[in-house]
Chains A and B, each alone.
Chain A
Amino acid sequence: MKKTVCFILLTFTLLNAKEFNTPMKTYMEGLSTEAKAANPSFSGFDAKRGETLFVSKHTGKKGGEMSCTTCHSTNLKNGGQNVNTNKPITALAPSVNPTRLTDVAEVEKWLRRNFNDVFAREGVALEKGDVLTYIINQ
Chain B
Amino acid sequence: MQKSMMSDRRKFILGMARAAGLAGIGALVWSSVLEESVHASLLLRPPGALDEIDFLKTCIKCGLCVSACPYETLKLAAPGDKKPMGTPFFEARETPCYMCPDIPCVPVCPSGALDVASVTTDGVLDINLAQMGVAVVDPYACIAFWGIQCDACYRACPLLDQAIVLEYARNERTGKHAYLKPVVVPDICTGCGMCENACITEKASITVLPREVVMGRAGDHYVKGWDKKDQERVKNARGGITQTEISKRSAVDSLNDSSGLFE
Whether chain B is bound by chain A comes out as no
